[in-house]
Amino acid sequence: MADYAEITYAVADRIATVTLNRPEARNGYTIRMADELGAAMDRADRDEDVRVVVLTGAGRDFCVGADLSQGGFDFDPATGPDAAWQEPAGRCSKRIFTMNKPVIAALHGAAVGGGVTITLSCDYRLASEDSRFGFVFTRRGIYPEGASAWFLPRLVGMGTALDWMISGRVFTAAEALEKGLVHKVLPAGTVLDAAYELAGEIVATTAPVSVAVTRQLLYRMASAESPFPVHDLDSKLIGGLGANPDAVEGVMSFLQKRPPAFGMRVDKDLPGYLPWLEK
């Protein structure tokens, strides 16, 4: 699409592909890229033809983090940012977190600094066996942003998060898989195909509103102190979703041994969709 300079956006088979597109700079992250990524996620979320987003990078790397050759502040360092300013990785991380649709990150080469923190709010991380990861921030004298202090311990446990974030060392796809940062490691050159296969399965078999509610609930309840609030919410959600036509379709398609034909809309007018989950 002509309206982006540092990413590309394409839709096929109900899957939006968002590609970081500065291969000459190893997809070094810029303020502009952050803004374009946020806009692309917005667009995919609003597009009724899109069910799943695949996030990937052009060239040999996913993303080497902030492009260190570019300077980088979009505020005056002498006065600091105003209260509304959102740091660049957070702009994307936050937008992905509030998506109604799952996001699959297909990673290869370096996924380092902001290049890994922007994937932490994605629902899946698939990695090529040549991937390397690193929360290198302490080595640059800065801080791991993109809300990684919230996401990373939940994904890999506090011990591993402390190790990776304090040491800043670069580690392999095998270590990322062992600790739970990535869901799968794929042979070189096959990670994007694997992402499309997974996305296609989600498109073909799941109800959009169920997916939206389920992913938000998992995140929101991850910090609950006991199962009691989750039991209460479950009752509201099951009651609401039961009134949704997709619940009828999900059961009928199973009984009639045919593929489901779910509705495409996910919005606050649908029974079972709880807009307050977005807060």
The residues binding ligand A1D88 (CB under 6 A) are 26, 28-29, 64-69, 88-89, 110, 112-114, 132, 134, 136-137, 140, 142, 145, 170
Looking at the Cβ atoms of 144 and 208, the one nearer to ligand A1D88 is: 144
Q: Which helix (H) or strand (E) holds 95?
A: helix 88-97
Give 2: exposed, middle or buried? Use CB within 10 Å, 0-12, 13-18, 19+. Answer: exposed
Looking at the Cβ atoms of 29 and 196, the one nearer to ligand A1D88 is: 29
Least separation in angstroms between residue 232's CB and ligand A1D88 is 38
Least separation in angstroms between residue 220's CB and ligand A1D88 is 25
Least separation in angstroms between residue 20's CB and ligand A1D88 is 12
Least separation in angstroms between residue 170's CB and ligand A1D88 is 5
Tell me, rounded to whole angstroms, the distance of Cα 212 from its chain centroid. Answer: 13
Looking at the Cβ atoms of 10 and 174, the one nearer to ligand A1D88 is: 174
| 74 neighbors 80 (Cβ within 8 angstroms) | no
9 forms beta bridges with: 18
Looking at the Cβ atoms of 57 and 113, the one nearer to ligand A1D88 is: 113
Q: Which helix (H) or strand (E) holds 229?
A: helix 228-242
How far is residue 191's CA from residue 126's CA, in Å, rounded to a whole number? 7
Looking at the Cβ atoms of 20 and 89, the one nearer to ligand A1D88 is: 89
Least separation in angstroms between residue 187's CB and ligand A1D88 is 20
Looking at the Cβ atoms of 116 and 212, the one nearer to ligand A1D88 is: 116
Give 159: exposed, middle or buried? Use CB within 10 Å, 0-12, 13-18, 19+. Answer: exposed
| 171 neighbors 134 (Cβ within 8 angstroms) | yes
Least separation in angstroms between residue 40's CB and ligand A1D88 is 17
Q: Edge to edge, what strands does the sheet with 103-107 contain? A: 7-12, 15-20, 52-57, 103-107, 124-128, 184-186
| 261 neighbors 200 (Cβ within 8 angstroms) | no
